[in-house]
């Protein structure tokens, strides 16, 4: 469960000055109109984050250096949708480090930027172009989970910064209330090392086609098809289908999902969920079933990049059960939350029946999390109890994020 990390600070400032004072009468002066400064078209955004985690796994106790990990990092993104002739460009720099905490407080990290404790990486670098209702994006970029459920950029507690892909992406909106997405993904980095981009299937990559329709009020239908040649270095091809129907009826949010992942052997998955909010209380129930004969239900991007995945598209995914609910299991999840104490408090639990997979019969997880905002900083704290039928452990995590 340990990882590795670093820190590099990326900073950028812009200073615009202009205007002068013009005398009108000897005793009266009025500001002259400020000179018009043309909009450069560049948009700058960024994020600063600090995170700490500890677990009593194995012989380690909570807060022991050997069983704790931490990261600090900062990102800066520059994007221009029309540099010249409709051609757009985007670049994102990420720096990650430990603030020296590895000397006496922690022994591991959530992420690294380049495999070192302190370093940086270019995680996004792309060009864009639009033709009518069709947009093209080429290069290192994030892929959204809503449109790419089996190969997407993760946004979990452990992913301080999202993993990205080297891809060609085409989006079309010609059809009413419909988004069509086509992609060829050739490289990917893992959440553990953001600067390490690996070829997928020896450069053959993975093809994806997604259609999402919102013609019926309150109903979103999404279907995705993936194809990859010689997956995971074998002679088998990847053929995956994934469908999701999301409903919003009378204040209730419900969903159905079904998927098939064929890599020579076939994995079939089903899921259902329902939830809603009443005043300050939110709630949700979900169940999924995975009949695993092959790859399992995973976010294949980080896996194919040679690293771990901390998330999947199943409705029942919590903090740690992602390693259990994707493989030959039936999982049930329930959660309840409340807007209290100036933030949001949430209690969630999940149980997976694995049928003796890996010699484990079941997995149980309970999460208690709290999020709030202090000024412009988002704060999150989480306690996680995990029991994999052979051992149990506790995890504590805290995270502070400032978006600018």
pLDDT in tens, the chain (404 residues): 333 332 232 223 322 233 332 333 333 333 444 444 446 799 999 999 999 999 998 778 999 999 999 999 999 999 999 999 999 999 999 999 999 998 899 999 999 999 999 999 999 999 999 999 999 999 999 999 999 999 999 988 999 999 999 999 999 999 999 999 999 999 999 888 999 998 887 778 899 999 999 999 999 999 999 998 876 656 678 899 999 999 998 889 999 999 998 877 888 999 999 999 999 999 999 999 999 766 778 888 887 777 778 899 999 999 999 989 998 899 999 999 999 999 999 999 999 999 777 778 999 999 999 999 999 999 999 999 999 988 999 999 999 999 99
Three-point CA angle 362, 368, 370, nearest 5°: 150
Residue of 351, 342, 269 whose CA lies nearest to 318: 351
Please tell me the pTM assigned to this model.
0.85
Cα distances (Å, whole numbers) of residue 132 to 86, 137, 174:
11, 14, 9
CA gyration radius, the chain:
24
Neighbouring residues of 50: CB distance < 8 A, sequence distance ≥ 6: 70, 71, 72, 73, 99, 399, 400
What letter would DSSP give residue 35? Answer: P
Side-chain half-sphere exposure of 275, counting CA atoms within 13 A: 20
pLDDT at 265: 80
Task: State the pLDDT at residue 297.
Answer: 87
Where are the domains positioned within the chain?
1-13+38-123
d(CA 343, CA 338): 8
- What's the confidence (pLDDT) of residue 330? 96
Q: Are strands 134-141 and 178-188 parallel, antiparallel or unpaired?
A: unpaired
* Cβ contact 161:73 at 8 Å: yes
Residue of 312, 313, 251, 315 whose CA lies nearest to 287: 315
With beta carbons less than 8 A apart as the criterion, state whether 395 and 108 touch. Answer: no
248 bridge partner residues: 253
**Residue 252, number of CB atoms within 10 A of its CB:** 12
DSSP lists the bridge partners of residue 393 as: 386
Q: What pLDDT, on a 0 to 100 scale, did the predictor assign at position 24?
A: 31
What is d(CA 352, CA 326) in angstroms, rounded to the nearest whole number?
10
Question: How is residue 74 written in tokens?
Answer: 């900062």
Task: Quote the pLDDT of residue 310.
Answer: 85
Alpha helix segments (H runs only) across 145-285: none
Per-residue tokens: 334: 């329930």
């Amino acid at each position: 469960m340990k990882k590795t990390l670093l820190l590099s600070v990326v900073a950028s400032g812009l200073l615009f000055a202009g205007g002068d004072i013009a005398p009108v009468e000897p005793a009266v002066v009025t500001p002259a109109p400020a000179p018009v400064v043309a909009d450069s078209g560049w948009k700058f955004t960024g994020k600063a984050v600090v995170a700490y985690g500890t677990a009593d796994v194995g012989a380690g106790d909570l807060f022991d250096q050997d069983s704790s990990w931490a990261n600090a990092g900062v990102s800066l993104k520059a994007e221009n949708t029309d540099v010249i002739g409709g051609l757009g460009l985007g670049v994102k720099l990420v720096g990650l480090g430990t603030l020296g905490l590895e000397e006496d407080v922690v022994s591991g990290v959530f992420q690294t930027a380049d495999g070192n404790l302190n370093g940086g990486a270019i995680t996004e670098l792309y060009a864009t172009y639009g033709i009518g209702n069709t947009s093209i994006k080429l290069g290192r970029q994030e892929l959204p989970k809503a449109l790419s459920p089996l190969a997407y950029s993760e946004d979990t507690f452990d992913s301080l910064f999202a993993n990205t892909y080297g891809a060609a992406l085409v989006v079309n909106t010609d059809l009413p209330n419909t988004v069509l997405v086509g992609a060829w993904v050739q490289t990917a980095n893992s959440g553990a090392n953001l600067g390490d981009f690996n070829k997928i299937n020896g450069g053959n990559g993975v093809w994806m086609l997604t259609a999402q329709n919102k013609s019926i009020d309150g109903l979103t239908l999404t279907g995705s098809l993936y194809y990859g040649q010689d997956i995971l270095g074998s002679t088998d091809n990847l053929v995956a289908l994934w469908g999701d129907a999301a409903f919003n009826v009378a204040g209730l949010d419900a969903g159905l999902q079904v998927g098939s992942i064929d890599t020579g052997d076939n994995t079939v998955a089903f899921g259902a969920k329902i939830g809603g909010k009443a005043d300050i209380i939110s709630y949700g129930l979900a169940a999924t079933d995975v009949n695993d004969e092959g790859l399992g239900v995973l976010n294949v991007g980080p896996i194919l990049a040679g690293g771990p995945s901390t998330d999947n598209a199943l409705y029942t995914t919590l903090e740690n059960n992602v390693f259990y609910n994707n493989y030959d299991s039936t999982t049930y999840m329930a959660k309840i939350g409340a807007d209290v104490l100036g933030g949001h408090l949430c209690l969630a639990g999940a149980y997976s029946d694995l049928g003796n997979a890996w010699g484990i019969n079941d997995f149980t997880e309970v999460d208690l999390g709290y999020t709030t905002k202090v000024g412009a900083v988002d704060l999150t704290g989480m306690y996680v109890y995990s029991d994999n039928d052979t051992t149990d452990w506790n995890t504590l995590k805290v995270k502070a994020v400032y978006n600018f």
